[in-house]
Structure 1
Amino acid sequence: MKRLLPLLLSLTLLCAGCGAPAPSGGSPSAPPAESSGPAPESSGEAAVPGQTPETDHLPETDPLPEADSDPAESYTLDKAFTTGGRELTARLHGTIDRTDGCERCGVYKIEVLEGETVLQTLLVKDAIDAACAAAGTENYGDEDRTNYFTIDSGLALEDLNFDGCPDLRLIQALGTVNASWLCWLWEPENSRFSYAFELVGFELTADPETRQIITQARDGWGLYYTDCYQYNSGAGKLLHVGQMVENFCLEEAAEPEDALVSVWEYLPNVSVELKYATADNFTGQVIYDSADARLRLGTLRKLQKAQDRLGAEGYRLLIWDAYRPPEAQWKLWELCPDPNFVSDPNRGFSRHSRGSTVDVTLVTLDGEAVEMPSGFDEFSPLADRDYSDVSDTARANAERLEQAMTAAGFRGYDKEWWHYSDTTDYPVIQ
């Protein structure tokens, strides 16, 4: 699940078609507004040569290509800005591709000039490579330029790290819903830009009051994400500090509350690593063969409430075990016939077999593990809920999880900090 959100969002970045997208106005299907964030001290723009090069009004000196010639036309565009009392220019170098009647405009290089002196050259390929590396992927297409549908609407000069200097934000791609932005930060001490991060969404704003960058994005599962980021100058990176989710798929579910449904289908913002679907558990054996976590729909609604609270605090739920078929409970009992650790199916099945109990822990919004009292299925006092023998950090994280789950309508088991049952009772699912 760690890589789920980038994967889901990247699927929406496929081009929707030819021509310019609909004007942005904050709607989910519109490209992002380019006026967000604080304005630089001064700004201006000039096409080189002549007028601003709209795709259907190119200068006469830049004729359309012949049918058998290279379909790409070159263009340059200047964006003036002032920082630290210095008047500088960001000069974009790009191409317009009219293949098959489409107009695909892309930037492959940005020069930073003071007068006619080139202070720095930024290659878009380097930024795309860095963005792919940060996401744990490769630039398989060997992309070396941006891909968007208007020449000059994709660049913004705004203060993204709130240090008083305008930074660069360039649309890398537009899709049917979301866009991705490549962001360079201005380094006053070095008088240069350095690539810093990539962001995804249909809207982006820089809020100087909270000193946060806020993005809104949508995926294909009926989820709308509002993510908050804060730039940490000491760490030199953007930190994901909060997330709010509108789950229209769950709100509009047609199934009854007692239906056993897929967590993946309804709560893709919750991570899943089912321990008993692998040999990574205390038995060293696979207990059930399905990696699809399932729970009652009513239980999922409560789990979403817990995730909403935790997401705003910068955390995500990770599920270790959900619905456990009765045959899996029998197998566990055969391997470990100890009622202190495993429910005896001869006397009644585990509440996991009701589809209303879940074993969960916390990870960061980006999927990194956080310190908790113990690992999963720890058969020692570390697993209980008094937290007297664990670190302050582990105690705080366990209490954060407990408060969110309890407020959402779950009750915990005093011998296992990770175990929570829905307060609504359901029968065993045979």
Structure 2
Amino acid sequence: MRRVLMFLLALLALLALSACAAPAEVAEEAPPAPADPAPVEPAPGGSVPNRTAPEDDRSLTLEAPLADGRTLLLEAVGKQVDEYSFGVREVRVYDGEELIQTVQAREGIEHFWGDSDGGVVSEYTSCWSREESMEVLDLNFDGNTDFGLFGWPANNTIPYYYWMWDPEAGRYQYAFTLQGVSADSDRRELESTFRLSAVEYETDYYAPDETGALYLARTEVSNWEVSGLDDRAARETWVPAPDQRLRPGAPDWSYHDLTLVRRELPVREFHDGGTISNYTEIWELMDGELQMTSREEFFYEDHQ
């Protein structure tokens, strides 16, 4: 009887241990439904901030000081277009941490090339390196930094699509496409140089008016074929008439549409005894026609 009682007590203890070790049954909770994503507002300029094509990356960031004391950051975003070229798709304009504008490269591409042939206009520029894909400069000398995007590799001086800062609008506006641009702050002139032919080059000079708008001031043409001297070019200066207000990138005009006001013509004269004289004849517009006003001798330096 005692043994039976001990057996029953042991069995009860074993059942109690099993009940303590069994895990409590927990009701499973359904995972929370994902919240609807907050709408992303387009940035000024028509692009969604910080959202690019998967293959795009930030290629170049440059500072852009303004006349009001602020310094903007210009961030070019693009991709490796092919084996030989890098393209910019957009430029993001930051004032501190705030994205205030997104400039689409397509704006300049469409403006210059148009789509008259019905073809698809690329969204990307074409440059041979990331480092040269964007440049900053003050195009009209108003103290505000403007910028240009390297347009495409050319068998000539490089063309850029340019945007200028509009202080009243507080944003960049597409301005023009020009080749071989440099800004002479001392003379307050914007220069654009390009090749017309194997022997002829043209440089257009633009100056700002009182509003900061750029207009053609004069054009200088260098021609080695006219002078007949391989190492010295003939030079002509052409100016617009008072009613000719030509903006940078204006279509369908040439320097022949302007007025020729000066010519510098190198000439070489051979004398008895084998001597040679070199002169530059200066011709200037007087009384409605070009007249020679001076003749200056020049000498070649002996570097031997």
TM-score (norm 1): 0.41
1:97 to 2:97 alignment: no
CA distance in 2, matches of 1:252, 1:368: 25
- Give the secondary-structure state (helix, strand or coil) at the position aligned to 2:156: coil
CA distance in 1, matches of 2:90, 2:152: 15
1:308 to 2:246 alignment: no
- Cα deviation, 1:281-311, whole Å, max 9, x if unaligned, reads xxxxxxxxxxxxxxxxxxxxxxx97x814x1
Matching residue of 1:225: 202
Q: Is the 8 A contact 2:64 2:146 kept in 1?
A: no
Question: Could you tell me which of 57, 65, 69 is aligned with 1:82?
Answer: 65
Instruction: Please state how far the C-alpha of 1:210 moved relative to its aligned partner.
Output: 1.8
Q: How many residues align?
A: 204
- Normalized per residue, the structure richer in helix is 1
- Give the secondary-structure state (helix, strand or coil) at the position aligned to 1:219: strand
Instruction: Please state how far the C-alpha of 1:247 moved relative to its aligned partner.
Output: 0.9
CA distance in 1, matches of 2:168, 2:208: 18
Q: Is the 8 A contact 1:228 1:241 kept in 2?
A: yes
CA distance in 2, matches of 1:244, 1:137: 32
Question: Could you tell me which of 109, 126, 129 is aligned with 2:90?
Answer: 109
Alignment gaps of 5+ in structure 1: 1-47, 49-69, 255-303, 316-362, 371-398, 409-430
Matching residue of 2:109: 128
Instruction: Please state how far the C-alpha of 1:214 moved relative to its aligned partner.
Output: 1.2
- Cα deviation, 1:166-191, whole Å, max 9, x if unaligned, reads 11122112223321011111122222
CA distance in 2, matches of 1:172, 1:200: 9
- Give the secondary-structure state (helix, strand or coil) at the position aligned to 1:405: strand
CA distance in 1, matches of 2:177, 2:109: 9
CA distance in 1, matches of 2:119, 2:210: 31
Matching residue of 2:222: 246
Flag the 1:231–1:153 CA change in 2: closer, same or farther, 3 A.
same
Q: Is the 8 A contact 1:73 1:97 kept in 2?
A: no
Flag the 1:226–1:148 CA change in 2: closer, same or farther, 3 A.
same
Q: Is the 8 A contact 1:128 1:139 kept in 2?
A: no
Matching residue of 1:183: 162
Paired AA for residue 308 in structure 1: E
Which protein has the larger Cα radius of gyration, Structure 1 or Structure 2? Answer: 2
Q: Is the 8 A contact 1:129 1:139 kept in 2?
A: no
- Normalized per residue, the structure richer in strand is 2
CA distance in 2, matches of 1:137, 1:308: 36
CA distance in 2, matches of 1:87, 1:308: 41
Matching residue of 2:290: 405
Paired AA for residue 211 in structure 1: R
Instruction: Please state how far the C-alpha of 1:139 moved relative to its aligned partner.
Output: 8.4
Instruction: Please state how far the C-alpha of 1:402 moved relative to its aligned partner.
Output: 5.2
Instruction: Please state how far the C-alpha of 1:143 moved relative to its aligned partner.
Output: 2.8
Q: Is the 8 A contact 2:190 2:205 kept in 1?
A: yes
- Give the secondary-structure state (helix, strand or coil) at the position aligned to 1:229: strand
Instruction: Please state how far the C-alpha of 1:154 moved relative to its aligned partner.
Output: 3.1
TM-score (norm 2): 0.56
- Give the secondary-structure state (helix, strand or coil) at the position aligned to 1:308: strand
Flag the 1:231–1:139 CA change in 2: closer, same or farther, 3 A.
farther
CA distance in 2, matches of 1:181, 1:139: 23
Q: Is the 8 A contact 1:240 1:365 kept in 2?
A: no
State percent identity of aligned pairs.
23
- Cα deviation, 1:109-134, whole Å, max 9, x if unaligned, reads 1111123322111111111222346x
CA distance in 1, matches of 2:111, 2:117: 9
Q: Is the 8 A contact 1:132 1:138 kept in 2?
A: no
